[in-house]
Structures are given as C-alpha cells and as structure tokens.
Amino acid sequence: MTSTNFAQAQQRLAARRQAREADNAARIAAQRETSRARAQIDRLPFPFSRLGSAWDSVSSQEGTRPAFRVGQVDAELLDDELLELLRGQVGDAVKYFAGGHLKDDWSAEILLALRAILFKLTVWDNDATYGAALQNLKYTDARTNGSAMVPPSKWQKSLYGLTTVLGKYGWEKWENWLLEHDDGYSDDSNPRLQRMSRITSRITTLHAGAAFVSFLVFLLQGRYRTLLDRVLRMRLAPPTSQVSREVSFEYLNRQLVWHAFTEFLLFILPLVGINRWRRWISRTWRKTKEIISTKGDDEKTTNGELGFLPERTCAICYQDQNTLASTETEIMAAAASSGVIGSAQTDITNPYETIPCGCVYCFVCLATRLEREEGEGWTCLRCGELVKECKPWSGDVLEPPRKSPTSKVVAFSDDVKDVESDMEMECEADVEADGGVDNEFVDVPQDKDYSTDNTDTGDSEGFEETMDQDE
C-alpha cells in the first residue's frame, strides 16, 4: 500500500468517527429532552402522570414477554364456539317442552347458566378457559414485574366472572326491556325512556370503540387480548418460558384427507352406478330367500308379497304408504287400523297392466318402477313375476273374434229360391229374399256354386260378382 492510499484510509476513518460521535451527541440530547418532558409529566396529577408509562408500553414492541397473538385470538374463538355448541345442544334438548317456545323464551337464562358453569370449571378452577388450555395458555397477574408467573387473585377472577357472566346477562336483559317498551312510531312515547335508550346506545358505541382501540394495542403489544383483561390486568401467557410453539397440522391433514375422499366418492359414484348394484344385491337376496323358503315345493303357487290386496288397490301405492310393515300379518293389522286399503290414496288411477302376468297398477307407479330398473325387470308385488313391459288395461272387456274376410255372390232371385233351404243350414245370417221383381239382386254367401242353366225361361245365364265384405 502506498503512502497516498494510507492517508486516504485514515481520512475516511476519521470522518466515520466524527459522524458516530455526532449521532451519539444527538441521541444524548434527545434523551435529555425526553427525560425532562417525562419528569414534567410525572409531576402532573394522578390520571395524567401515568401517560408516560402508557406511552412507553404502547411504543414498546417487546412488552413483558408477550405470548403469541394468534394463539390468544384462537383461544377466544374456541371459547365462543364452545358456548354456541352447548347452547345448540341445550336448545335441541328442550325444544319439545312448553310447546317448543322454551328455547326462545329462556334463551338469556340458558346462556347465563352455561357461562356460569364454564367460568367455574375453567377460569375459577384452572386459571384458563377451554380455548386457552388448548393453546397452552393461562391467565397471569400482570401487576407483578418478576420473572415468575403469578396466577390472578380471587378478586380479579371474581370481577372477571361478574363481568362476563352477570354483566352480559344484565346488559342483554336491559336492551330487551328497552326494545319491548320503546314505541318509536308513536308520538306519545315516554321521554325518559327515549333518554335511557340514547344513553344505552352511546355507552354501547363507546364500549365498541374502546374495545377496538384495545385490540389494536393488543396487535401491537400482544399482552391484553380484550378490554376487560386490560382493565383487570390479566393476560394470557404460557405456564413456563421453556415451552416452544409447536404447530400441529394433524387436524388439518385429517380434514383435507376426508374432504378429498368425499370429493372422490361424489365423482366416482355416478360412474359406478350404485343404484344398479343395490338393485342387483336386493334382487339376489330376495331370490335366495325365496329358494330357501320354498325347499323344493313345486306345488306351491307363486305369489307376491302383496298378493292379498284387492284388485282396486294399487300395490305400489300401498307399499309406499306402509313401509314399516314387513310381514303379511303386520300389513293386514296396519291396514285394519288405518283403513288404507280401499281408500282414495291407494286406488288405481289410470290403470296399466303388466306383461306377461297382467296385474294392474297405476301408470305412474308402474312406469316409475320399470324406469328405475333400467330394463333389468321389476318383480311384481302381486304375483312375483318378472315384469319388463306394460300396456293399457283393457278393462276386462271381451273383444269378439274377428272373422276372416268373406265374399258375396250376386244372383237372380229365382235362383236364390232354389237354394234357400241349404243356406239356412249352412249360414247363421239371415237372407232376405223378395219375389215378384225379375231384376232384383240379393246378397248370398259364396259357399256354394250357384251357377244355373234355365232352358225353360230362356233367360240368360246368371253371372257372378265377387266382392269382399268385413263383418
């Protein structure tokens, strides 16, 4: 290193030393001014003399070993969820009492009892709420400056319980009373009541603002979670300073696994066709029971589970309305007591008959069951046959058999007279024969050959004209 570079390095060091000394002097001067202002504040009366310490606690980000803010907030949320869960359980337990209005009429008293029980079992006995215990936190007395954690005193816990239990109950009842007696739409409202309502709303607004400011300070400082904790000087802290924060993702992982599993089932079940498998299993089980019950009895006639119902009753409608009955005796007993058989609820509407057994059901019921089976067949409830098709019911009307098309023979009346006796024996139809007119035509069946050769009269030979007739 040359002498020139060495001289420049010494100059830079001297400049840095001077800058450091200037900063120290400025800091010392600022501290003196701060101490002078702090001394002036301390000489003020009592409420104002604490402003200096309050400013120091607010501006300090370290505080007195602040616990994790997230854990304290989670503890409060867990306590609220526990209270709502217990409230819902108690409401479900008493919803059938007093006509179902007990839950609404005594909701404030139910919350009072639940808060009192939780306070006794948590804060009073163990110095920690349920949520704080899960977060490994306990209430400590923040008035002590020692390193050891001191539990809160009895009067602190007593004031805490009176405020959180009786205070909330009394304030809620007071607001409900004001709402019941406040008639804001009428001009004759009580001015005293209106004044109390305004004072109550102002107190509520003031408390909400103070709680918001306290929460902002908590986010900055991390010592007092709520406004009540700040007033009573109770804060949540770990029992020992050796405990490290361990975040467990076991619950989150389990929830993620179950969520993914349910999503997979919702995606795969429509593709698998669970209804078809369920029908196949039920049909196989039913056939197995029938095979076991018959035991090779060939003479036993096939009968469905509802074959005893009258013809006017739809077996499907009856089965839908009597799902609890399993045996024929139970079904008959239920029918006798309720009178379902033969009622308008179970009568057949728009009758359709099954193919091939011919049992009659409602069209909607039968079509729904057949469509549900997707072409695999449905077991008839009356006869036990496998049904795959249906058709409109004919109404038990016997249709006359259709006769094959026949032909007609047209001949002269003189020729018809000769074969009239043969026609009466072979035909069931009546033949009208009129004499006296030479050129009159009469219809006769073509069962015989009626061609004639009359040489006496000299008339021309008869001719045949054939036509089809559908009787």
pLDDT digits (tens, 9 = 90+) for 38-94: 777 777 776 666 666 666 665 555 544 555 788 889 999 999 999 999 999 998 888
Which residues, other chains included, contact 444 with Cβ-Cβ below 8 Å and sequence gap of 6+? 408, 409, 410, 411, 416, 419, 423, 431, 450
pLDDT digits (tens, 9 = 90+) for 256-292: 999 999 999 888 877 776 667 777 777 777 677 767 7
Q: What is the dihedral of CA 219, 222, 225, 229, to 10 degrees?
A: -140
Under 8 Å between Cβ of 305 and 382: no
Question: How much is the average pLDDT of 133-149?
Answer: 83
pLDDT tens digit sequence for 152-194? 999 999 999 999 999 999 999 998 888 887 766 555 667 888 8
Residue 147's Cα: distance from chain center in Å? Answer: 53
- Overall pTM > 0.85: no
- Stretch among 25-39, 353-367, 410-424, 449-463 having the lowest mean pLDDT: 449-463
In tens, the pLDDT along 234-248 reads 988 888 766 565 656
Within 10 angstroms of residue 387's Cβ, the number of other Cβ atoms is 22
pLDDT for res 67: 58
Asked if the model's pLDDT at residue 423 lies above 60, the reply is: no
Confidence at residue 208, expressed as pLDDT on a 0 to 100 scale:
93
- Give the least confident one: 332-336, 346-350, 358-362: 332-336
Return the beta strands (E) in 319-430 as ranges. 351-355, 360-362, 378-379, 386-387, 389-392, 406-412
